[in-house]
Every structure is written in C-alpha cells, then in structure tokens.
C-alpha cells in the first residue's frame, strides 16, 4: 500500500487545479471521512451521517450538477466500500471517477462536459 501522504499531495494539486479552472461559483470540497477513530468517536460520526466509501473530492457546478472524484496514488486500489459507493453513485446518474493526476481530472471534466476556463494548466503535480 502506498502511503496516504502521496495521495494527499495528489489531492491538493487536483483541488488547486479545479479551483483555478472551474467557474467561480463552483464548489470544490473534501469531506474528511477517513482516518483511524476510537469506537466511541466512530459510532458518533456514523450517527452523524459518515458513510464509508465517500470519495475524496466533491465538485458542484451549475446548474445543479454534482461530480465525485476518488484520488488514488499510482498503484493505489479502491477499497470495497469505495467500489460500492461508486457503483451506487453511477447508478443514480452522478459523475464519478478515480483520478491519479491532474490529467485524469481534466479528462473526467471533459467526459462530463464541464466547462473550464483553461485546460492547459497541468504542471501542479
């Protein structure tokens, strides 16, 4: 397994890229679902609505569109919960992708037909 720090750096670069190229009104954010928790904290978070498999990056663009991106390092693989979440999100009609680079994210935006202000910014990773 590749250290999470590598995925963190990739995610930071992708979020930076998205915030540069998406319209100002777009919202790009991360829900910190992962991490080790003690039993009581895990139970509390579950009661508060934490779901396993929620992707790393959520992207909201007008009109009313939501896209989901799971970040993985070069050899990182999806956990079963992430696979299940992806399957369900896609069945509901949401855009979902697994990305390993800014270029992967750029390609997903193109597939989803999300307008960007500059598709040439890729030197962040």
- Give the global pTM: 0.85
Closest to 7 (Cα-Cα) out of 68, 67, 58, 55: 55
Domains of the chain, each with CATH number or no CATH: 4-111 (3.40.1350.10)
Q: How far apart, in Å, are the Cα atoms of 94 and each of 25, 68, 81?
A: 19, 8, 17
Residues 78-91 have pLDDT tens digits of: 999 999 999 999 99
- Coil, strand, or helix at residue 67? strand
Residues 99-120 have pLDDT tens digits of: 999 999 999 999 999 999 865 5
């Amino acid at each position: 397994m590749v250290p999470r720090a590598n995925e963190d750096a990739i995610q930071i670069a992708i979020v930076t890229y998205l915030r540069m190229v998406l319209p100002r009104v777009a919202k790009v954010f991360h829900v910190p679902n992962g991490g080790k928790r003690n039993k009581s904290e895990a139970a509390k978070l579950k009661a508060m609505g934490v779901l396993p498999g929620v992707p790393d990056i959520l992207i909201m663009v007008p009109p009313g569109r939501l896209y989901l991106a799971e970040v993985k390092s070069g050899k990182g693989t999806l956990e079963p919960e992430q696979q299940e979440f992806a399957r369900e999100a896609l069945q509901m009609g949401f855009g979902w992708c697994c990305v390993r680079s800014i270029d992967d994210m750029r390609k997903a935006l193109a597939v989803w037909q999300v307008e960007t202000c500059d598709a040439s910014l890729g030197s962040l990773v």
